[in-house]
Amino acid sequence: MRDKVVVITGASGGIGAALAVRVAHAGGRPVLVARRETELSQVRERCGEGALAVVADVSRRENVQRVMDEALARNGRVDVWVNNAGRGITRPVSQLTDDDVSQMMQVNLLSALYGMQVALAHFKPRGRGHIINVSSLLGRVPSVPTRSAYSAAKHALNALTTCLRVELRAEFPEIHVTTVSPGVVATEFGVHALGGGPDSRALPNTQPVDEVAEAIAGVIERPRADVYTRPAYHEMVAGYFSAEDMAEAESRPPFPALRLPEGSAR
């Protein structure tokens, strides 16, 4: 981690902020990216002088390119790009509007696509780098109906992540591409969901942000393709997809035990 330049989107709070502080304290140089200037400045202060804060809306491609430009101007290179920015929704499939789906795809999928493409333009000439896409357990097991379009966006993100990893494997084996899947995390995610929702921090069995940040920091130091932030999450996904009949699996244990409380994802 020491001296690694790590771009982290969605760094004004939650997982992104915790990861930025962890990277800084481990000797890395975090580049913090988010829309909320005041909160972002507070996180940068916690990280120390080696950190750079860039106020940007990463759902706009030109802003993502500006983040890279500022990171390079300050540090000369970028080693790791973490696509962490995201937003939830509280609306079942039967009530989704065109705008609901567009917002979920723009924030959760296209922002990551922009980050991947901008990072690749820098990584390919160097022949190395690491892209980390923070997905969700709901990107594997869509067990919360009101998180419908969010789950769909994360499923799509997982597909793009895998496709990119396979695309790069032969020619660029030192450019790593990783999916990280948290479950219920104690953040403001639920409060800020489109349509509102319960505060994830008040829900039972939530995962502390520091625990998720530790998992991401671990994969920065030892790259892997696919990471769940708790071993039990991997078991949940494996159990669900190994079922002969998913409809049956969704109606009996252990699937009901996998069902996260509404509003709790990520």
What residues act catalytically? Answer: 150
Angle (CA) 149-145-212 rounded to 5° is 75
> Which are the contacts of 194, defined by CB distance < 8 A and separation ≥ 6?
87, 88, 89, 90, 91, 100, 103, 104
Distances, alpha carbon 142 to alpha carbons 71, 223, 250, 259, 266, in Å? 36, 26, 10, 9, 12
Q: Tell whether the torsion through CA atoms of 79, 8, 120 and 155 is positive or negative.
A: positive
Residue 59 CA to residue 13 CA, distance in Å, equals 17
Residue 76 CA to residue 30 CA, distance in Å, equals 13
